[in-house]
Amino acid sequence: EDQVTQSPEALRLQEGESSSLNCSYTVSGLRGLFWYRQDPGKGPEFLFTLYSAGEEKEKERLKATLTKKESFLHITAPKPEDSATYLCAVHKGAQKLVFGQGTRLTINP
Amino acid sequence: DADVTQTPRNRITKTGKRIMLECSQTKGHDRMYWYRQDPGLGLRLIYYSFDVKDINKGEISDGYSVSRQAQAKFSLSLESAIPNQTALYFCATSAETSGRIEFGPGTRLTVT
């Protein structure tokens, strides 16, 4: 069965304290891995797509990496405005995404 | 103007009532989706449509139906609402080639 597991469920950091979020997956026929950011009461906002092991994408303080079994979202020197829930999802064809449960990130000033 | 709009944004209804959630998009995408989000369960696919004449069930379609009225419009109906359908509902769209799905702002539905 296809599974996407994110860890930790919640993470609290001080402003400037770098860390990483994990997304591990067991999916046959992976065609892409997506990262989204979701603010409370809003729809998920697209961040990155990764297609193959070894690929990396960066946007401001965020960097996403991909291996054959997991993806990491690295957050460097985060700011309070980076507080959100981060979702990963795997694309396994027919443009259907299987989502993880998300990591709720809080950055304290 | 938002690319994907959902109406209503919030709705409280009673058990047994029929309710329709509407979605429209200006992105010109052929593919549209309805997802449900529950705390601890993540986003789950209810229905999806790849064009006006194509409707497919997702992983949790029981108790729901959809209608693709036009390329830009995709509505979700609950024929007889029940309390465990209380959730946040998202409409989403994608272009055929990208795989990337873009979400609307969501509808918060409460069934009492």
Over pLDDT 70: what percentage of chain A?
Answer: 97
Question: Hey, is the C-beta of A100 within 8 angstroms of any chain B C-beta?
Answer: yes
**Is the pLDDT confidence value at A4 over 70?**
yes
Q: So what's the pLDDT on residue B2?
A: 67
A77: left (phi over 0), alpha (psi -120 to 50) or beta: left
Question: Hey, is the C-beta of A44 within 8 angstroms of any chain B C-beta?
Answer: yes
**Is the pLDDT confidence value at A33 over 80?**
yes
Please indicate whether, in this complex, the C-beta atoms of A97 and B45 are within 8 angstroms of each other. Answer: yes
Interface test with B, best of A45, A96, A103 (most B CBs within 10 A): A96
Measured between alpha carbons, how far is A50 from B14 in angstroms, rounded to an integer? 43
Joined together, the tokens standing for residue A87 give 């979702």
Query: Is the sign of the CA dihedral B88, B94, B99, B104 positive or negative?
Result: negative
Contact residues for B35 (Cβ-Cβ < 8 A; gap 6+):
B43, B44, B45, B46, B89, B90, B91, B92, B103
A55-91 pLDDT, tens digit each: 999 999 999 999 989 999 999 999 999 999 999 999 8
B44-79 pLDDT, tens digit each: 999 999 999 999 999 899 999 999 999 999 999 999
How many other CB atoms sit within 10 Å of the CB of residue A51? 13
Side chain identity at residue A71, one-letter code: S
Q: So what's the pLDDT on residue B97?
A: 67
Q: So what's the pLDDT on residue A82?
A: 97
> A32 to chain B: which residues are within 8 Å by CB?
99
The three-class DSSP label of residue A79 is coil
**Is the pLDDT confidence value at B108 over 80?**
yes
**Is the pLDDT confidence value at A25 over 90?**
yes
- Closest CB from A34, A43, A95 relative to B90: A43
